Structure 1
């Protein structure tokens, strides 16, 4: 009984890439255990456990949630990248972005509200430390 469930369990797919080629338009939601490369157009959401690549001719409007992302084309919407978001010189980003790390090449257009994971936690800790220092000075 338990052996069957182990066989049916999905494991992350390594080394495989799903592709939406140029001149292809899709409306809907994509979910993948593997990487996704978009050279066509997608309107909807993408959830990937791997890397999402938007090629130079690629256009995405909607939501993306993934581990890593490389953008050469256009993105509009909400982008959440667990690790590294890399914007090439031809990239155009509009919307809201949450990243672990951000790399931007010269020439990229980045019109987004951006926050980095962990930044809010660090600023809260810094404010707490400053408050403690101020209260110590007042009591002395």
Structure 2
């Protein structure tokens, strides 16, 4: 009876949030995953400065500055972000210029454009995304203890060198 105004196969940002909430629910408790968007920077809004928050924030406008969170950052298709971004999880369909660090994961969905360095343990890039920059992926920084003893290869317990090739 009701017809959808959106082209078939395209998802709205609300559907993206719901899909992201569903995927996050496997890692988070149901109550935390169902958490709504805490703040919204709408289309046509220009913001300059630093944003720090907990929870989920969606940006569809323009932001110039810094974003700091352990939560989720949703970047809409119309968003233009020129910032240093640090977040737990980032889902981007817009444009980000600057260094991006995610503690959990980054999902770049078409038609996203990212110009800058990305550091994250998990990255997903859809076909149609433009990424120009550097990528560093690691599970975490592990410091090696300086007191760890080193053992030379090829030395026996008696201190003599063993011949390896026969």
8 A contact 1:25–1:42 mirrored in 2: yes
Runs of 4+ in 1 over 6 A off after TM superposition: none
Structure 1's unaligned 5+ residue stretches are: 1-11, 125-131
Name the SS of the counterpart of 2:153 in structure 1: helix
TM-score by length of 1: 0.76
- Aligned with 1:47 (options 39, 64, 68): 68
The 5 Å alignment of 1:1-140 reads 14-118=35-139, 135-136=153-154, 139-140=162-163
Give the structure, 1 or 2, with the largest relative contact order (CA under 8 Å, sep 6 or more): 1
- CA RMSD, Structure 1 to Structure 2 (Å): 2.4
Could you say which structure has the larger radius of gyration?
2
Contact 1:35 1:49 in 2 (8 A): no
The Cα of 1:106 is off from its aligned counterpart by 0.4
- Higher strand fraction: Structure 1 or Structure 2? 1
- TM-score if structure 2 supplies the norm length? 0.64
Cα distance in 2 for partners of 1:109, 1:44 equals: 22
Structure 2 gaps, min length 5: 1-31, 145-150, 156-160
